[in-house]
A and B are shown apart, each in its own frame.
Chain A
Amino acid sequence: MSASRASSATPRLTAGWATVAAKELADHLLSVRFFVLLLVLGAAAIIPLYFAAERLRSLASEVSGAQAVFLALFTIGPEGVGFLRVDRFVAIAAPLLGIGFAFDAVNGERSEGTLPRLLSQPIHRDDVINGKFAAGLAVICIVLVAVVLAIAGFGLARLGIVPAGSEIVRLIAWLGITIVYVALWLAFGTLLSVVIRRAATSALAGLGVWLFVAIPFFGPLLLSALLGIFLRPVTGEETLGALGLQETILRLLPSTLYQEASLVLLNPSVTSVSTPTTIDQLIQARQQIPSLLSLDQSLLLVWPHLVSLVALTAACFGLAYVRFMRQEVRA
């Protein structure tokens, strides 16, 4: 055993956070919530896919030779039902993944009484929260990549749609920004688990925020109703102004950022993410000749969105980190 003492005195090969992450990852993958969330997201992928496949078949003649047929797998659903699309479904369900894997990260250890024991091991305190975040991120990546690959595989095998090179890159970019978006919710869940002492309360708080931020029926509709009441737009200019204000406010929400970015990345024909703010701009937009954005232009369009999402994630995680480092070990 003297060898072990010697080896523990020298810098170890495996960092503390990696050990924590490995244990947390194993826990996640064997947990009930992993299967539940996999089912939810799987349903979120398969149900719209079913409708998308139907429509793609009937539209095949029209869209053949047109742009981005492969990506249409992700962006079209049954006629008249807007939200039954893979991208919308993922936008709604993915935050649950983030909250689901983080809401009890720290307060769970606290209530089980394992936190003092864990912190009395020779690891830095931030190894605990870093390891947990890394494990959550890994699970999210696994789930999202699996779902996207399943959809793509379905498209290839059953519908015989072969993606173009740029479509693959767009898909990877979309996957990337989706992971960042879920990471934001993961960081938010971690923050809740640090600040709120009871796991059940922090789960409820997370779901409450999710309801108003990620579900379009709540936050955005409520906001537009409120703006309508207070601004009472009459003229066209006023209506556009109110819309612009609404957009500005909504853009503070990460869900809006994500939805816009997702739209642009999956749909090359989207050339703008803002509504026109004057009548002239509106006319201009109407007269615009429909065109496809090249990949680099689409990426340029969503670059601010990506940066904002990453910044929000960093801010959430940073806050959780600082609060955790300053917390007393005892409850």
Chain B
Amino acid sequence: MSPVKRKGALRRRETAPAAGAPSAPPPIRTLGLTKEYGDLVAVDALDLEVHAGEIFGLLGQNGAGKTTTILMLLGLTEPTYGEARVVGLDPERDPLGVKRRVGYLPDAVGFYGGLTGRENLRYTTRLNGLRGPEGESRIADVLEQVRLTDRADDRVDTYSRGMKQRLGIADALVKDPDVLILDEPTTAIDPIGVVEILDLLRSLVAERGMAILLSSHLLNQVQNVCDRVGIFAAGRLIGIGTVPQLARRFGDDAAHVAVGFGGLEEREATDRVAAALAALPGVSEVVPPGAGHHEWRLGVEPVERVPDVLAGALAMAARDGLRLVSIREVVPSLDDIYRRAVAEAGVAGEAPRRAVA
């Protein structure tokens, strides 16, 4: 049980600077980071900052420049212009220092098929200068975290694609990193596995104050796990922020709130509620519930009035004695946001946003 104790001590040690010392360098920061391959600009003047204790999602289609960005952060490819700082270090000058503290899961991760999962991880720990019982207990820990303990001593050849992906995450974690960079961590994993992995990432951030940068083209999968996302298209970051922020930025100037009431059977009652909802300040549109559910959908304009509408609906329910079953702001799907953002960037280029019909 000693490894558990040690880990506890470590967590405290590592969370401390994230919470207490604002002067600590951000885990990841880039300034005008640019990579050109001949005429092709793979990454165009990227400014990015990822804080300790957050999961940042780099979202974009294949070929948008996500992997190139990640390789520059790791010092595996040199930027044409601009600079990057990872855990305060320059990946170009001190790649070893960066790699010592950053766990990386490459896109389409591979392992030595003839070796077992445990042997593959052992190679990684040795390359990190971790040997003996200390290394073995690290390996056992991370295998447990990704639920591969019972298959750890089988050859990787016999693993499914999803198991290899999980072994890849274990491989990134085994060096006990401060920053985790995951390139497409959820591709090839079944839906239940995705939930497990995203839960694992969440707990890593919560327990260790780790910073996680993940890239994905499966937007909806990572929508819920990312604290902030950056939308990447054709090498440029065309939007950055939380999902609701981006929804507002790229939305049609309207936010939506869903309110559900139970026990509204009579037509009369329904009409009364519709009128009351429409009268709330900030509500621009009221869509009554369709068949099979109870939720009213309220359009809110301008978007800053969302809190007012939420409060108003609550007050209304209390005043009129309605049975409130649900109330929430409707977050649009990242897919929609992404489509709008790309369309907007394509139409307006660098110019400030424009409403899209």
Contacts and interface: CB of A to CB of B under 8 A. Distances in A.
17 contacts: A1-B10, A2-B9, A2-B13, A12-B129, A14-B126, A19-B123, A113-B108, A113-B109, A113-B110, A114-B110, A117-B104, A118-B127, A120-B102, A122-B127, A122-B129, A124-B96, A330-B71
Interface in B93-147: 96-97, 99-100, 102, 104, 106-114, 123-124, 126-130, 134, 138
A8 B128 contact: yes
A28 to B, nearest CB: 12
Given A19-B126, A124-B96, A1 B106 contact: no
B119 to A, nearest CB: 9
B71 A117 contact: no
A146 B176 CA distance: 43
A7 B104 contact: no
A7 B97 CA distance: 13
Interface string A95-139: 000000000000000001110111111111000000000000000
Contacts of B293: none
A12 B102 CA distance: 18
B134 A328 contact: no
A231 B6 CA distance: 81
B176 A4 contact: yes
Contacts of B106: 113, 116-117, 120
A23 B126 CA distance: 10
Interface in A280-331: 328-330
B10 A122 contact: no
B13 A121 contact: no
B248 to A, nearest CB: 36
A117 B128 contact: no
A27 interface: yes
A5 interface: yes
A7 B138 contact: no
B138 A8 contact: no
Contacts of A20: 127
A140 B76 CA distance: 32
Interface residues of A, number: 32
A9 interface: yes
Contact of B67 (A3, A4, A121, A330): A330
A14 B132 CA distance: 13
Contacts, number: 92
Contacts of A5: 176
Nearest to A11: B129
A16 interface: yes
A328 B176 contact: no
Given A1-B7, A2-B9, A116 B128 contact: no
A121 B124 CA distance: 7
A91 B104 CA distance: 45
A26 to B, nearest CB: 9
B74 interface: yes
Interface string B2-15: 00001101100100
B12 to A, nearest CB: 10
Contacts of A14: 126, 129
Interface string B185-203: 0000000000000000000
B176 A1 contact: yes
B99 A27 contact: no
A112 B76 contact: no
Given A5-B176, A120-B106, A114 B112 contact: yes
B171 interface: yes
B296 to A, nearest CB: 50
B6 A1 contact: yes
Nearest to B107: A116
B110 A329 contact: no
Interface string B167-186: 01001000110000000000
A20 B67 CA distance: 26
Contacts of B168: 117
B224 interface: no
A122 B106 CA distance: 15
Contacts of B62: none
B110 A1 contact: no
A8 B177 CA distance: 12
Given A16-B127, A117-B106, A329 B76 contact: yes
Given A117-B171, A119-B76, A4 B134 contact: yes
A122 B123 contact: no
Given A117-B109, A120-B99, A27 B6 contact: no
A119 B95 CA distance: 10
B182 to A, nearest CB: 12
A19 B7 CA distance: 26
A8 to B, nearest CB: 5
Contacts of B160: none
Nearest to B105: A117
Contacts of B176: 1, 4-5
A329 B71 contact: yes
Given A118-B127, A120-B74, 15 more contacts: A1-B7, A1-B10, A7-B129, A8-B128, A19-B123, A19-B127, A20-B127, A22-B126, A27-B112, A114-B110, A114-B112, A116-B104, A116-B109, A117-B111, A121-B99
Nearest to A19: B126
B220 interface: no
B176 to A, nearest CB: 5
Contacts of A329: 71, 76-77
Contact of A9 (B100, B107, B130, B134): B100
B113 A121 contact: no
Interface string B205-223: 0000000000000000000
A8 B7 contact: no
Given A4-B130, A113-B106, A123 B77 contact: no
Contacts of B138: 1, 4
Contacts of B113: 112
Given A4-B130, A23-B123, A329-B77, A123 B171 contact: no
